Amino acid sequence: MKRSRLVLIVLGLALAMFASACGGGGDVPDGAVAVVDGTEVSRAELDELIERAKKGYAAQKQEFPKVGTPEYQSIQTQYVTVLVQREEFEKEADERGITVTEKDVEKEVQDFLKTRFGGKRDAFLKALKEQGFTEDALRDTLRFSVLSQKLFEAVTEDVKVEEAEILAYYQQNQAQYGTPESRDVRHILISEKKDGDQVDFPKSKVEADRIYAELESGGDFAALAKANSDDPGSKDSGGKLTISRGQTVPEFDKTAFELEPSALAKPVKTTYGYHIIEALTPVKKATTTPIAKVRASIRTTLLQEKKSTFMTTWVEDLTKKYDGKVSYAAGFEPPEIPDATTTEPS
Q: What is the pLDDT of residue 134?
A: 85
Domains of the chain by start residue, with CATH: 3-159+303-328 (1.10.4030.10), 181-285 (3.10.50.40)
CB count, 10 Å around CB of 14? 22
> Residues 6 or more apart from 188 whose CB is under 8 A from it?
208, 211, 221, 224, 225, 228, 229, 231, 235, 239, 275, 276
Q: Can you give the pTM of this predicted structure?
A: 0.67
The predicted pLDDT at position 97 comes to: 96
What pLDDT score does 229 carry?
97
Sheet holding 182-190, edge to edge: 240-244, 182-190, 273-279, 268-270
**Whole-number pLDDT of residue 336:** 64
DSSP labels for 8-45? HHHHHHHHHTTTTT----S---TTEEEEETTEEEEHHH
Distance of CA 311 to the CA centre of its chain: 18
Length of the chain: 346
Residue 35: per-residue pLDDT: 95
10-residue block means of pLDDT along the chain (346 residues)? 43 42 62 94 93 87 93 93 94 95 95 93 89 86 94 96 97 91 97 91 97 96 97 96 95 97 97 97 95 97 97 94 92 68 42
pLDDT of residue 88: 95
Supply the pLDDT for residue 189.
98
Q: What is the DSSP letter of 100?
A: -
Query: From the centroid of its chain, how far is CA 246?
Result: 27
